[in-house]
Amino acid sequence: MSAITQIDPDDRARISAIDFTHRLVRNWQEALGIDLLGAYLIGSLAHAGFSRRYSDVDIALITASGLSPQALDRLRSGAVALSADWGPKVSIFWADRQFSLGRFPPLDRVDYLDHAVVLMERERVRPPVVVTWAATSRSPQPQIAHLDALIAAPQLRCWPVARLY
Structural domain tally of the chain? 2
Task: Please indicate, yes or no, whether residues 81 and 11 belong to a single structural domain of this protein.
Answer: yes
Task: Please indicate, yes or no, whether residues 134 and 115 belong to a single structural domain of this protein.
Answer: no
Which CATH number does the domain housing residue 14 bear? 3.30.460.10
Instruction: Determine the residue type at 118.
Output: V
Residue pLDDT tens, the chain, 165 long: 555 558 888 899 999 999 999 999 999 999 999 999 999 999 999 988 898 899 999 999 999 999 999 999 999 999 999 999 999 999 999 999 999 999 999 889 989 999 999 999 999 999 887 555 455 555 555 555 555 665 566 555 555 544 444
d(CA 53, CA 163) in angstroms, rounded, equals 26
Give the pLDDT of residue 49.
87
Rounded to two decimals, what is the model's pTM? Answer: 0.76
Task: Give the residue from 112, 124, 152, 100 showing the smallest Cα distance to 38.
Answer: 124
Task: Please indicate, yes or no, whether residues 42 and 106 belong to a single structural domain of this protein.
Answer: yes
Nearest 5°: phi and psi at 48? 60, 30
Task: Please indicate, yes or no, whether residues 102 and 58 belong to a single structural domain of this protein.
Answer: yes
Task: Please indicate, yes or no, whether residues 76 and 104 belong to a single structural domain of this protein.
Answer: yes
Task: Give yes or no for a contact between 92 and 81, defined as CB atoms under 8 angstroms apart.
Answer: no
Residue span of the structural domain in which 150 resides: 129-165
Task: Please indicate, yes or no, whether residues 109 and 165 belong to a single structural domain of this protein.
Answer: no
Give the pLDDT of residue 145.
56
Give the pLDDT of residue 157.
53
Task: Give the residue from 22, 89, 92 showing the smallest Cα distance to 56.
Answer: 89
Give the pLDDT of residue 133.
46
Give the pLDDT of residue 48.
81
